[in-house]
Amino acid sequence: MSFDKYFTEAEERQLFNAVKRVKGHLAERDYCWMRIARLTGIRLMPLSKLTVGDALQAISSDYLKIGEFNKNKKEQSIFMVKEVKVCLKKLINIQRQLVKETDVSEFDRPLILSRHHTALTKRNYQRRFEMWIEIAGLERGTIHWLRHTFAKRIIKRNENTPEALLATQKLLGHANINTTTIYTSPDKETIKEMMINAS
């Protein structure tokens, strides 16, 4: 069974380089939340509901805790690699620059803000991502592909071992291992290489 709803390493570089080339708060904000999604496999809903307090706790503890807005309200602790912590710090700084005065305590403020200083809606995220896909010159891709890309990389870089599959199941919060096995299917690059070798 073929599975192609993820970014190849070349496509991933193309996407993130396109975002990085653009200056300004909005591009930096988008780059950061996109990197967080790619490096943690977090779903869009819990990502969009993160607060400054969530980010501060994650930076101090090395784990991002999600639950209420996760699928099936499943409690999950996601380990923060160094780049994710850097991105969280940048998002906090952007948030502080955009919002000078508010009735809401900083701890409870949305981490990722729109240009109107409110939390980005799910549709806002999707539109921004569609824009970056187009700017990068990619044919297709969705935010959820970042989650799929995260899973594919873990399994591929750990040589499709049973341990990698189980780790990926845990990291993605899948209840059933069968849901995770789709990421063990040959990737686009491998299929292309095999076809070239067979010609």
Tens-digit pLDDT profile for residues 154-198: 988 887 788 888 888 888 888 888 888 888 887 777 777 777 887
Our count of domains for the chain comes to 1
Give me the pLDDT at residue 102, please: 61
Residue 94 lies in a domain: yes
Mean pLDDT throughout 30-57? 95
Give me the pLDDT at residue 171, please: 82
Assign residue 43 the CATH number of its domain: 1.10.443.10
More confident: 161 or 123: 123
Question: Partners of 77 in the beta sheet?
Answer: 65
For residues 193 and 195, give the distance between their C-alpha atoms in angstroms, rounded to a whole number: 5
Q: Where are the alpha helices (DSSP H) in the chain?
A: 9-21, 25-40, 44-48, 52-61, 82-98, 122-136, 143-157, 162-172, 177-180, 188-198
Give me the pLDDT at residue 117, please: 84
Residue 121 lies in a domain: yes
Read off the pTM.
0.88
Residue 27 lies in a domain: yes
